Chain A
Amino acid sequence: MSHLSERPENPVVGIPLPHESAALHVTGEALYTDDLVGRTAGALHAWPVQAPHAHAMVTGLRPEPAYDVPGVVRVLTAADVPGVNDAGVKHDEPLFPTEVMFHGHAVCWVLGETQEAARLGAAAVEVDYEPLPSLVTVPEAIAAESFQGARPHLERGDVTGALDDAAHVFEGEFEFAGQEHFYLETHVSLALVDEAGQVLVHSSTQHPSETQEIVAHVLGLPSHAVTVQCLRMGGAFGGKEMQPHGYAAIAALGATLTGRPVRLRLNRTQDMTMSGKRHGFHSTWRVGFDADGLLVALEATLTADGGWSLDLSEPVLARALCHIDNAYWVPNVRVDGRIARTHKTSQTAFRGFGGPQGMLVMEDLLGRCAPLLGIDPIELRRRNFYRSHHTTPYGQPVRHADRLEACWDQVAESGEVARRRTEIAEFNRQNPHSKRGLAMTPVKFGISFNLTAFNQAGALVHVYKDGSVLINHGGTEMGQGLHTKMLQVAATTLGVPLERVRLAPTRTDKVPNTSATAASSGADLNGAAIKNACEQIRERLAQVAGGRLGISPNDVRFEAGTVRGISVASGSISWDELVNTAYHQRVQLWAAGFYRTEGLHWDAASMRGEPFKYFAYGVAAAEVEVSGFTGAYTLRRVDIVHDVGDSLSPLIDIGQIEGGFVQGAGWLTLEDLRWDASDGPTRGRLATQAASTYKLPSFSEMPEVFRVTLLEKAHEEGAVYGSKAVGEPPLMLAFSVREALREAAAAFGPAGTSVELASPATPEAVFWAIERARTPATPEPGTDTGTAEPVLAGGR
Chain B
Amino acid sequence: MSQPIPCTASITVNGDEVPLDGIAAHTTTLDWLRGRGLTGAKEGCAEGECGACSVLVARPGTDPESGAATEWTAVNACLVPVAALDGQEVVTSEGLGTSSELHPVQRELAVRGGSQCGYCTPGFVCSLAAEFYRPTRTGDGACDHEHGPNGVDLHALSGNLCRCTGYRPIRDAAFALASPEPGDAFAARQAEAPPAPRPTRIAVGGAEFVRPETLAEALDLLVERPEAQVVAGSTDWGVEVNIRGVRAPLVVAVDRLPELRGLTLAEDHVEIGAALTLTEIERRLDGRIPLLAEVFPQFASRLIRNSATIGGNIGTGSPIGDTPPALLALDADVVLASPRGERVVALADYFTGYRQSVRADDELIRAVRLPLPLAPVTGFHKIAKRRFDDISSVAVGYALDVTGGTVVRARIGLGGVAATPLRAVATEDALVGRPWTEDTVRRAAAVLAGEGTPMDDHRASAAYRSAMLGQSLLRLFHDHADREEVPA
Chain A residues 632 to 672 lying within 8 A of chain B, measured CB to CB, are 632, 634, 651-652, 654-655, 658-663, 670, 672
Q: Is there a chain A Cβ closer than 8 Å to B368's Cβ?
A: no
B333 contacts across to A, CB distance below 8 A: none
Q: Are B120 and A662 in contact (CB under 8 A)?
A: no
Do A700 and B391 touch (CB < 8 A)?
A: no
* Residue A22 is within 8 A (CB to CB) of chain B in the complex: yes
* Separation of A698 and B389 alpha carbons in the complex (Å): 8
Contact indicator A233/B113 (Cβ below 8 Å): no
Question: Is there an interface contact between B386 and A629, defined as CB atoms closer than 8 Å?
Answer: no
> Of B44, B92, B102, which contacts A26 at CB under 8 A?
B102
CB of A692 to closest CB in B, whole Å = 5
A23, B385: Cβ atoms closer than 8 Å:
no
Q: Which residues does chain A contribute within 8 Å of B388, judged by CB atoms?
A: 698-700
B368 CB, min distance to chain A CBs, angstroms: 25
Please tell me which one of the listed residues B37, B125, B161, B460 contacts residue A184 in the complex, with CB atoms under 8 A apart.
B161
Chain A, range 17-55, C-beta contacts under 8 Å to B: 18-19, 21-32, 34-35, 38-39
Interface residues of A in 658-692 (CB under 8 A from B): 658-663, 670, 672, 674, 687-688, 690-692
Considering the chains assembled together, what is the distance between the CA atoms of A661 and B384 in angstroms? 22
Q: Which of B166-206 contact A (CB under 8 A)?
A: 166-171
Interface residues on B, range: 35 or more
Interface centre among B98, B166, B169 (most CB of A within 10 A): B166
Nearest CB of chain A from residue B290's CB, rounded to whole Å: 20
B62: A residues at CB distance < 8 A: none
Which residues in chain A, 733-766, are within 8 Å of chain B measured between CB atoms?
762-764
Q: Is B360 an interface residue (CB 8 A)?
A: no
Across the interface, name the chain A residue whose C-beta is closest to B36.
Answer: A38
Taking the closest CB of chain A, its distance from the CB of B404, in whole angstroms, is 26
The answer to whether B52 and A184 have CB atoms under 8 Å apart is yes
Within 8 A of B (CB), among A467-496: 478-481
| Given known contacts A629-B472, A674-B458, A663 and B385 CB-to-CB distance under 8 angstroms | no
Chain B residues near A26 (CB, 8 Å)? 93, 97, 102, 105-107, 109-110, 114-115, 118, 121-122, 125
Q: Which residues of B contact A693 (CB under 8 A)?
A: 391, 458-459
Sorting the interface of chain A by its residue count into under 10, 10 to 19, 20 to 34 or 35 or more gives 35 or more
CA distance A269 to B475 in the complex (A): 37
Is A701 part of the binding interface, using a Cβ–Cβ cutoff of 8 Å? yes
Contact of A119 among B154, B245, B486 (CB under 8 A): B245
Q: B119: which of A234, A672, A692, A704 is its contact (CB, 8 Å)?
A: A234
Chain A CB within 10 A, most for which of B43, B164, B239, B243: B164
**A698–B159 Cα gap in the complex (Å)?**
8
CB of B196 to closest CB in A, whole Å: 29
**B463 interfacial by beta-carbon distance below 8 Å:** yes
Q: Are B97 and A27 in contact (CB under 8 A)?
A: yes
A322 CB → nearest B CB, Å: 27
Query: A383 contacts the other chain (Cβ, under 8 Å)?
Result: no
How many angstroms from the CA of A284 to the CA of B389 in the assembled complex?
37
Asked if B164 and A672 make an inter-chain contact with CB atoms under 8 angstroms apart, the answer reads no
Is residue A782 within 8 Å, beta carbon to beta carbon, of the partner chain? yes
Q: Measured between alpha carbons, how far is A263 from B117 in the docked complex, in Å?
A: 21
A478 touches B99 (CB 8 A): no
Determine if A184 and B166 form an interchain contact, defined as CB atoms under 8 angstroms apart: no
Taking the nearest CB of chain A, how far is it from the CB of B239, in angstroms? 8
Give the docked Cα–Cα distance between A210 and B20 (Å): 43
Minimum distance in angstroms from A647 CB to a CB of chain B: 13
Instruction: With CB as the reference atom, state the residue of chain B lying closest to A666.
Output: B163
Residues of B within 8 A of A670 (CB): 385-386
Q: Nearest Cβ in chain A — how far from B280, in angstroms? A: 23
Q: Are B171 and A699 interface neighbours, CB within 8 A?
A: yes
Q: For residue A245, give the distance in angstroms from its CB to the closest CB of chain B.
A: 20
Of B34, B35, B385, the most chain A CB neighbours within 10 A belong to B385
With a cutoff of 8 Å between Cβ atoms, the chain B residues found around residue A659 in the complex are 116, 163-166
A760, closest chain B residue (CB): B385
Q: In the bound complex, do residue B461 and residue A783 qualify as a contact, i.e. CB atoms below 8 Å apart?
A: yes
On chain A, the residues within 8 Å of B167 by CB distance are 662, 697-699, 702
Q: Write the chain B residue with the least CB distance to A233.
A: B117
Kindly identify, within residues 375 to 396 of chain B, every residue whose CB is under 8 Å from any CB belonging to chain A. 381, 383-391, 393
Chain A residues with CB under 8 A of B109: 22, 25-26
**With A26-B122, A28-B94, A233-B117 known to touch, is A698 a contact of B461 (CB < 8 Å)?**
no
| CB neighbours of A268 from chain B (8 A) | 44-47
Check A629 against B475 for contact (C-beta < 8 Å): yes
B457 interfacial by beta-carbon distance below 8 Å: yes
CB-CB contacts of B36-77 with A at 8 A, as 1s and 0s? 111111111111011010000000000000000000000000
Closest chain B CB from A18 CB (angstroms):
5
Q: Are B45 and A23 within 8 A (Cβ)?
A: no
Q: Most B CB atoms within 10 A — which of A29, A480, A697? A: A29
Q: Please state if B99 and A655 are interface contacts (CB–CB under 8 Å).
A: no
Cα distance, A674 to B40, chains bound together (Å): 33
- Does B11 sit within 8 A of A, measured CB to CB? no
A781 at the interface (CB under 8 A from B): yes
Instruction: Please measure, in the bound complex, the distance between the C-alpha atom of A698 and the C-alpha atom of B158, giving whole angstroms.
Output: 7
A27, A232, A658: the one within 8 Å of B106 (CB): A27
CA–CA, A703 and B118, complex, Å: 22
Chain B: which residue is nearest A31 at the CB level?
Answer: B39
CA of A358 to CA of B130, assembled, Å:
44
User: 29 A-B residue contacts at CB 8 Å?
Assistant: A18-B113, A19-B116, A22-B113, A25-B121, A27-B94, A28-B41, A30-B118, A32-B119, A35-B34, A38-B37, A183-B119, A184-B42, A185-B117, A234-B42, A234-B119, A235-B119, A268-B45, A479-B118, A629-B471, A663-B163, A670-B385, A692-B45, A698-B160, A699-B157, A699-B171, A700-B158, A700-B387, A704-B144, A764-B393
Q: Please give the residue numbers on chain B whose beta carbons come within 8 Å of chain A beta carbons, in ascending order.
A: 24, 34-47, 49-50, 52, 92-94, 96-99, 102, 105-107, 109-122, 125, 144-145, 154, 157-158, 160-171, 239, 242-243, 245, 381, 383-391, 393, 456-464, 467-468, 471-472, 474-475, 478, 486-488
3 tightest A-B CB contacts, nearest first? A28-B40, A479-B117, A234-B119
A659-B116, A698-B158 given; name 13 further pairs at CB < 8 Å.
A18-B112, A22-B113, A25-B115, A25-B118, A27-B125, A28-B122, A38-B34, A184-B163, A267-B46, A479-B164, A629-B472, A655-B169, A692-B391
